[in-house]
Structure 1
Amino acid sequence: MPHVRVPITTDRLVLRSFRPGDEADVFAYRSVPEVVRFIPGDPRTTDEVADLVAERASAGRLDVDRPALTLAVELGGRVVGDVLIHLAGPNGVDLRQVEIGWVFAPDVAGNGYATEAARALVRVSFEELGVHRVWARVEPRNEPSVRLCERLGMRREGVLKQASWFKGEWTDLAFYALLADEYRPAQQP
């Protein structure tokens, strides 16, 4: 079964399992409407964040029964975001494909942290999990995430017009992906 060794360290960040004590940091960004605009769910309450942190504490194992892993992104002792690695293809759980996602505190935007964390997920997906394809689905109006996908070297594979009933409206879904034979470790510090 695939296993993600945590923590994952980059030049500036630590991607690790959630743990007790992360609740205030996570609430600081997961409770902001603009931050959760393009991700499932509403702004979180303190109780919901406490449940989220408790639920997502994990040793890093991914399998058919637990195909998704959400990691806290720590910067200098503070959780500034979280990232998702999900064993999934377009038709459900797939051990050969990984969907990635991210959400970050607005006060750290523009410093490259989301790109750095997402690059680490791409590296782990190809080099440790040995997957064939890494992909992301993005609402095209989420321009920072579109640009992040492009910085990762992902290609835009297509857009499904008004394919998702999301937060009270029909929204488009853009799909970005990178294949194992396209992956260049030098592009993914």
Structure 2
Amino acid sequence: MTAAGTGRPAPPPPVPLRTDRLTLRHVRPEDAEALLWYYRREDVTRHLLDGPWDAERAAEQARHRSGRKHITQSGFATVLVAELTERGNGAEPGRLVGDISLWAVDETLSHGEVSWVADPELGGHGYATEMARAVLGLGFEHYGMHRIQAQVESTNRASARLCERLGMTREAHLRRNWWIKGAWTDTLVYGMLAEEFTTGGGTAGSDC
């Protein structure tokens, strides 16, 4: 793990990450169809900069994300998909429950940001919480980050609740700072410090 604040990269991350019910692994180009399954939905992409996706966009994004494996400088990311390790809640093993990105905000590599998208068809079972907690652990315990933040479009209540379940603190409400799909929107900023993170912290909620 890197020494916080030095800007020296950590070794490549120990991927795949395994939790009680999920395997988090690097994105592959052949994940395009599985990503399209939920990124084609308007209710999934309404809080994102683009979308819904079509097959061409899904293939492009799967290729792009498959190359984002390690944080070695500011702006670089580790992008993972989370898949079920066993049959659960009507879904077969290997089905994607969502995807998640962690990147370095500045050149010290000690300040990170995380973002996620989850398949709403598999909501209500705590999968998104499990996925996000694993990546917070990666940021704090492997990359040695001292702070990780999440920026959430203010009407995205599901993601705001997820931040709260993870134990992140709401630090700011930025007014009309983000132009999304033809309108200015507000952003909520949540943050967590390394000393606040525990792998057992938070509880799985009813939405994610």
Instruction: Check whether the contact 2:97–2:128 (CA below 8 A) recurs between aligned residues.
Output: no
Which of the numbers 158, 161, 165 marks the counterpart of 2:172?
A: 158
8 Å contact kept, 1:27–1:46 = yes
1:82 corresponds to 2:81: no
Alpha-carbon distance, 1:18 to partner = 1.4
Q: Deviations over 1:65-119 (max 9, x none)?
A: 761222111122112211011111xxx5550111111101121111111110000
- In structure 2, the partner of 1:170 is 184
Q: Hey, what's the Cα distance between the residues in 1 that align with 2:136 and 2:202?
A: 8
**AA at the equivalent of 1:154:** M
Aligned to 1:57: 66
CA shift for structure 1 position 184: 2.6
Which segments of 5 or more consecutive residues in structure 1 lack a partner in the other structure? none
How far is the alpha carbon of 1:188 from its aligned partner?
6.5
CA distance in 1 between partners of 2:143 and 2:17 (Å): 14
Query: CA–CA distance in 1 between the matches of 2:202 and 2:141?
Result: 11
Once the two structures are aligned, what percentage of the paired residues are identical?
A: 38
**Structure 1 residue ranges, 4+ long, deviating more than 3 angstroms after superposition:** none
Deviations 1:33-60 (A, max 9, x none): 1101112212111011111111211473
Give the TM-score, by structure 1 length. 0.91
One-letter amino acid of the counterpart of residue 99, structure 1: E
Q: Which residue in 1 is equivalent to 2:32?
A: 23
Q: Note if contact 2:74-2:107 (Cα within 8 Å) is conserved in structure 1.
A: no
More strand by share: 1
What does 1:102-181 correspond to in 2, within 5 Å? 102-181=116-195
Deviation for aligned residue 1:14: 1.0
What TM-score does the superposition give when structure 2 sets the normalisation length? 0.83
Specify the code of the residue in structure 2 equivalent to 1:17. H
CA contact (8 A) 2:17 2:25 kept: yes
Distance in 2 (CA, whole Å) between partners of 1:167 and 1:69 is 26
Unaligned runs of at least 5 residues, structure 2:
1-8, 85-92, 204-208
| Partner-residue secondary structure (3-state), 1:5 | coil
